[in-house]
Structure 1
Amino acid sequence: MKNLLEISEKIFEKDKRFISRAISIVESDENNSIELLKLIHKKTGKAYRIGITGPPGAGKSTLTNQLTKHLIKQNKSVGIIAVDPTSPFTGGALLGDRVRMNEIGTNPNVFIRSMATRGSLGGLSKKTIDASDVLDAAGFDYIIFETVGVGQSELDIVNTADTTIVVLVPESGDSIQAMKAGLMEIADFFVLNKSDRPGSDSALMALRTILMLKDHNVDDWLPNIIKAVASENIGINEILSEIEKHKNYLIEKNLLQKKRANQLKIRIKEIVESFLRKDFWHEENIIELNKYLSNFNERIYSPYDIAEKLIHNFKTKLKE
């Protein structure tokens, strides 16, 4: 516990070495992770969280890089969590976005960490959200999640970020109709990156058409579409301006705290489910499950019967 107290104090001082160590604890040591997150909680809640998502090859890392450079010039500090597919060999992050962002990674006001999705269907694992609390407690002004682009399964970023940016490219034009039920629904605004390529105008029109068809009230936030060429630093100021505009909208309409409260509610439910799952599948219940499965071909019990019996046994043990 003494060691965790020291780590938490060093986090509050924005010591990168201890921030890195804390995120490693969050990733790999569940018991110490929980205690550490409890210690630093009082210092969280100040950072503004930005989610950047979109299909592979849309230029999300380049965009993150450019946005961070502009924020540094405004004397802001930025924590970046680049969420990569899980390596099938090591369980760690595979793409190594820190290599692509090495020009900003050495800046004292920037901290970059690649993390694995760990099989999370939404592209963000519980560990990623816990790691963002470490960066929040360290006093970073902005936390940017750059997520693996896997289309409709990206939806849980909306339960983490204050502002969600969906990055598309002109080539996305043909698939925008198919995407609208998933990825398209989560954007607070869109960035049409690499907009110097052919097909940019038709992709822009397709996006605008879909947005016009969406039902909305007079006071609702309407997602904008910003054309950019991130590799050439074109459109970055406009993107930052749109982030600020959306932030101000949330604050003025008293929606930021409501949004964060709802995100917290979802997170607590997930934590409770995780604890219950861990407690439920103890050795005795696994043996009981295997016993039922050994006779499953006889069709005596349905899966629901078995589940109900296991839950009944679990509740009985709790009462005892």
Structure 2
Amino acid sequence: MTPTVGRPPSRSRWSDLGRPPLNAALLRSALVWPDSLWTRLEVTESTGSTNADLVGAAREGRATAGTVLIAEEQTAGRGRLGRSWSAPPRSGLFFSVLLEPEPDVPGDHWGWLPLLAGVATASALSRAAGVDTALKWPNDLLVRVDGEERKAGGILAERTETYDGTRAVVLGVGLNVSLRADELPVPQAGSLALAGAANLDRDPLLRAVLRSLADWYSRWADSGGDPAISGIQSAYAAGCATLGRRVRALLPGEQELTGEASALDGEGRLVVVTDDGARHPVAAADIVHLREA
């Protein structure tokens, strides 16, 4: 028997007609097939964090490359810098995937994977949900609600090793789909519903995102992880709401920079040009948008 990486759904699939559960069998038939990047797909009713579950399963040999773990609810979802991510059950898409880049992909190109996931998710949502989704460096998904930018999703990448020592990465995506204004975790958050999305059916949205992610990952892997050859660098720049903006970069160690976000360098770092004309490549920071592009 194939071991599972989460608990199977136990409640009736009709217990909440307003937010029906995902159809795991149909998702598998659409996404898991020979030569697909996705080799296994599991839907669990509730878990603390799909990223934590999948990292643990990979280390213990219970998950292999191409595994997709989806939760109807996350009770301890994590964002960057250890921040929590929570939402009502079945109100969004909360999933993680396990990837094992080939040995010929240099480790310094792995930093593009969360940016790649952002490009894949934003482009899929534009098509499948009919809503414009912008990218805030490094890993936030933005929508517009009443003319205001709101964070509707985020991406978290964690490097790990499998049980046999193979290098791997777990990419996690959290996306608010049907959240109403009174359900938002913070007033600055958003959702596809609040942004006026034409489609809130999570099954086709998830299929679109995973297909887009497989396509962009294949381009990246086939190019040896090169962001320019694969098109990731230009695609991210085209969809990035941060570039061209005046920003405040809150750096580790309680330091900060203020200036214009002018470019992405070859390692995926944000180049901030301060008022004295100095260029500062930023690898890790909280970015605050100070004005519109």
Q: TM-score range by the shorter chain?
A: under 0.3
What TM-score comes out, normalization by structure 2 length?
Answer: 0.28
Query: As a proportion of its length, which structure holds more strand?
Result: 2
Query: As a proportion of its length, which structure holds more helix?
Result: 1
Tell which structure's C-alpha radius of gyration is larger: 1
